[in-house]
Amino acid sequence: MSLIIPNNYNNKLLPETTEIAIKRIKDHFQAQLSAALNLRRVTAPLFVTADSGLNDNLNGIERPVSFRSPALGNVEVQIVHSLAKWKRMKLADYDMAPGYGLYTDMNAIRADEELDNLHSLYVDQWDWEQAILPGQRTGIFLHETVRKIYDALRSAEKMVHELFPHIKPFLPETVKFIHSEELLAKYPGMTAKERENAACKEYGAVFVQGIGAKLSNGEKHDGRAPDYDDWSTLDEHGRVGLNGDLLVWNPVLEMAFEISSMGVRVDPEAMRRQLKLSGCEERATLPFHKRLLEGKLPAAIGGGIGQSRLCMLLLQKAHIGEVQSSLWPDEQRLACSAAGIELL
């Protein structure tokens, strides 16, 4: 996407009041999330070694920010893209019981991002992971977890309205679940992003399931790394994919707005299959992958929830730079300033 300047944009909070609101939203939401999913907060790394296999490869083309430290023997160290694999390893290290898990503040630098209303060089999200029973690796359990997260989101929206009555709630009561293959059939002739826009405009909030595998048109709805989300296993309805994205309709930008990417995690069988499908079989020798393939990691579900994105959405801001401090092209800053969009 390119920069969107809404017509007659109304900035509903001054910058100093926005800072207060950001903290209230973050405190409220993470308390709701941890209570709903039985999560405890843990500390997390900002960087990992390149040979650990722990960094998130995202779509496989994004360059991690890296450096070499003389104190570590000049091994390559990478700023994390996310903590998708690290979290699952910690579930095992802490011997967490099924139904319990952890969350953490994940901070990342994504140097290759195209900067616009939603995308920044700086990424901040709650990364969370919950240990589950092997029998809970189903679409039904995935949907139950999504509903809990969505309820926490609506609770935060209600809190914002109580603090600032002029910021009216807009999220629907329920989230619509739809498989990416169903989405393709429902909105033929559209791109994946256009299908998401159409679905969010129609339902208000949707969870698009099954992201990473090829659809009947030979294309993927979107990319997924092969070694954390399970996007190749059939669910109880015979649909491929036990993962997905939680999207809502953003009334300020008038578009689909992704809040969370999440899913049931791969078991050894799915890991082998997805590494082969992705042409990444060499990863099986990396420490994390070996541990998983040897059955030494618990069954799990997990995901990431954007912190700045959540604040931007609930405070009805037009640009993520209104709720986080980052760097933006001069022309983008000028265009935003002219429209009353105050970037921090």
DSSP of 234-286: B-TTS-B-SEEEEEEEETTTTEEEEEEEEEEBP-HHHHHHHHHHTT-GGGGGS
pLDDT, residue 1, reads: 58
pLDDT digit string (tens) for 81-126? Answer: 878 889 999 999 999 999 999 999 999 888 888 899 999 999 999 9
The pLDDT of residue 139 is above 70: yes
The reply to whether 68 falls in a domain is no
Average pLDDT of the residues of the chain: 93
- The secondary structure of residue 311, as a DSSP letter, is H
Type of residue numbered 280:
C
User: Model pTM?
Assistant: 0.93
Is there a contact between 118 and 290 (Cβ–Cβ < 8 Å)? no
Contacts of 60 (CB under 8 A, 6+ apart): 223, 225, 278
Closest residue by Cα to residue 123 from 183, 58, 76: 58
Asked if 183 and 207 count as a contact pair (C-beta separation under 8 A), the reply is: no
Mean pLDDT for 176-182 is: 96
Q: Classify residue 10: in a domain, yes or no.
A: no
Mean pLDDT of 11-27: 94
pLDDT at 266: 96
In a domain, 173, yes or no: yes
134 in any annotated domain: yes
**Beta partners for 48?**
78
Query: Side-chain half-sphere of 75: how many Cα atoms within 13 Å?
Result: 11
DSSP codes of every residue in 47-93:
EEEGGGS-S--TTS-PPPPEEE-GGGTT-EEEE-S--HHHHHHHHHH
**Is the Cα torsion angle 266, 272, 278, 281 positive or negative in sign?**
positive
Contact, 168 vs 161, CB < 8 A? yes
**Strands of the 66-68 sheet, one edge to the other:** 47-49, 76-79, 66-68
- Tell me the average pLDDT across 224-241: 91
Note the pLDDT tens digit of each residue in 285-344: 988 899 999 999 999 999 999 999 999 999 999 999 999 999 999 999 999 999 999 998
Tens of pLDDT, residues 256-298: 999 999 999 999 999 999 999 999 899 999 888 999 999 999 9
The percentage of residues in the chain with a pLDDT greater than 90, rounded to a whole number, is 78
3-class DSSP assignment, residue 35: helix
If one counts every other C-beta atom within 10 angstroms of the C-beta of residue 89, the result is 19
- For the domain that residue 112 is a member of, what is the CATH number? 3.30.930.10
Residue 102 lies in a domain: yes
The residue range of the domain holding 292 is: 15-46+80-338
| Closest CA relative to residue 170, chosen from 235, 248, 114, 105 | 248
The answer to whether the beta carbons of residues 25 and 159 sit under 8 Å apart is: yes
Q: State how far Cα 104 lies from the chain centre.
A: 13
In a domain, 154, yes or no: yes
Where do we find the tokens 């309820």? Answer: 151
3-state class (DSSP) for residue 102: strand
The closest alpha carbon to 300, from 154, 104, 90, belongs to 90
For tokens 């002029």, the residue is 166
Does residue 123 form part of some domain? Answer: yes
Assigned token pair, 328: 């933006």
Residue positions annotated with a catalytic role: 56, 110, 125, 245, 258, 261
Instruction: Work out the burial of residue 229: count CB atoms within 10 Å of its CB; fewer than 13 is exposed, 13-18 middle, 19 or more buried.
Output: buried
Which tokens sit at 8?
Answer: 């007659």
- Residue 288 covered by a domain: yes
**CB-neighbour burial class of residue 16 (10 A; exposed 0-12, middle 13-18, buried 19+):** exposed
As a whole number, mean pLDDT of residues 185-200 equals 95
pLDDT at 179: 96
According to the model, what pLDDT value does residue 112 have?
Answer: 85
Domain total for the chain? 1
The H-assigned helical ranges of the chain are 15-37, 84-93, 139-163, 180-186, 192-203, 268-277, 287-293, 307-314, 330-338
